[in-house]
Amino acid sequence: MAYTDMDPVQMMRDYRSLINHVHYKDMHADHSWALMGEGIVDFKTITEDLVDSGFEGWIVVEDECERSVKEQNQVTLECGTYSDEVLRPLIEKV
């Protein structure tokens, strides 16, 4: 959604009743892929909205930042750290 200049937060709110699977992927304002949490996608608000609406589906994380080509393991660990430190507390507050 963000890649095509749509607002992911608003789209998720507008079509929440249709959503049963979410794909997280971050990007910079210039449309290059970003490490999760370093780009423009507001994962915190999206995650809070999903939790508040009772979402019980899957959230899948994909990372195609430039570093992921040569540092797959490190990028995966950093995405995991971001998820644990930033997103997990939002999910566990329920």
pLDDT at position 28? 96
Domain that holds residue 49: 2-92
pLDDT at position 34? 97
Reported confidence tier of residue 94, pLDDT bands at 50, 70, 90 = low
Model confidence, pTM: 0.90
Give me the amino acid identity at 17.
S
Total residues belonging to the chain: 94
Q: How many domains does the chain have?
A: 1
Give me the amino acid identity at 87.
L
Cβ–Cβ under 8 Å, residues 1 and 14: no
Residue pLDDT, tens place only, 24-66? 999 999 999 999 999 999 999 999 999 999 999 999 999 999 9
pLDDT at position 18? 94
